[in-house]
Amino acid sequence: MFDQVLNNLPGFAMYFAAAIAILAVFLTVYTFLTPYDELALIRQGNVAAAVSLSGTVLGIALPVATAIAVSHNLAIMAGWGVLACVIQLAVFAAARLALPNLAQDIPQGKVASGVFVASLSLGIGLINAACIV
């Protein structure tokens, strides 16, 4: 039993590191592109920012996790991960179109806007994950 774990540990480490790198790069780009500083808002207790960013993290984690599960090649997994990042960035753009005042709503702590962004990110992330083959 432990032999199997030890034998697969290098593969686990590679996929895990790649997934964390994809998430870190995505979050860096995402927080750079949003017109407000989510982490500063969260530190101030802004629930709307926390909900929005949490949904976005889960929305990207779902397809990345699926890419790990179905890919037999690290490069293919990374490709799906990059595509998932692009899709999630497009989700935020769509949210801004749907809610033109989003850039003001989140900093003002309007939880409804945060829930909308989170739900949209999760929903599209789930669909994205299901489409990965």
Residue 1 above 90 pLDDT? no
pLDDT band at 45 (very low <50, low <70, confident <90, very high): very high
Q: What is the model's pLDDT at position 4?
A: 87
Write the secondary structure of 47-76 as one string of H (helix), E (strand) and C (coil): HHHHHHHHHHHHHHHHHHHHHHHHCCCHHH
Q: CA torsion 18→20→26→31, rounded to 10°?
A: -160
| b/e 77-96 (16+ beta carbons within 10 angstroms → b) | bbebbeebbebbbebbeebe
User: What's the mean per-residue pLDDT of the chain?
Assistant: 96
d(CA 60, CA 27): 9
pLDDT digits (tens, 9 = 90+) for 114-127: 999 999 999 999 99
Q: What is the model's pLDDT at position 64?
A: 98
What's the number of domains the chain is made of? Answer: 1
Range of the domain at 51: 2-131
